Amino acid sequence: MIIELNGKRPTIAASAYIAPTAVIIGDVTIGEDASVWFGAVIRGDEGKIVIGARTSVQDNVVIHVNSRRDTIVEEDVTIGHGVVMEGCTIGAGSLIGMNATVLSESVIGKGVLVAAGAVVREGADIPAHHLVAGVPGRVLRPLSEAHQKRLVHAPESYVKYGRLYKKAAQIV
């Protein structure tokens, strides 16, 4: 469902896949080959949200803004099932694990792995190519080169699935 709010209508690239039960509201821009899956809510009501190219917003994710900060997700990001994000910046090539929470004014660097269930504190600044885990989330270590390579390839399967669903899925 695409909802215009206060004259702001979401802008969605033609190649992006939006699941029929996803809700996208207001000042939202979704890039080329991005995908927004079932039950996800992207709510650009108090500010803007940018979802970069080839980014996957998986099932039941909630992304919103607050009056202090827009939410910017760069390209090639994987946002796992059940993630909640508000007023933050996520660097290119990062992976936010299932059921993680990224709080307001946090900045996640490029190529960061936020572990499943982690809570990234308000105002946190996470350096590029590191692992964050725990409640509250702590930077545990730099990612190995092998881990970094896996993150680079993570978006590929969701781009492929998005194209498949866009072409072949039918509501019956």
CATH of the domain at 148: 2.160.10.10
Which pLDDT score is estimated for 82?
98
Total domains in the chain come to 1
pLDDT of residue 150 exceeding 90? no
pLDDT class of 168 with cuts at 50, 70, 90: confident
pLDDT over 70 percentage in the chain: 100
Q: What is the pLDDT of residues 17-68, one digit of tens each?
A: 999 999 999 999 999 999 999 999 999 999 999 999 999 999 999 999 988 8
Q: What is the pLDDT of residues 100-121, one digit of tens each?
A: 999 999 999 999 999 999 999 9
Peptide bond before 155: cis, by omega within 30 degrees of 0? no
Query: Which structural domain, as residue segments, surrounds residue 20?
Result: 2-168
Q: Are 66 and 86 in contact (CB under 8 A)?
A: yes
Q: How far apart are CA 138 and CA 119, in angstroms?
A: 9
Q: How far apart are CA 142 and CA 126, in angstroms?
A: 11
pTM: 0.94
Q: How far apart are CA 150 and CA 168, in angstroms?
A: 28
Which pLDDT score is estimated for 136?
95
Q: How far apart are CA 101 and CA 19, in angstroms?
A: 22
For 101, half-sphere exposure in the C-beta direction (CA atoms, 13 angstrom radius) is 9
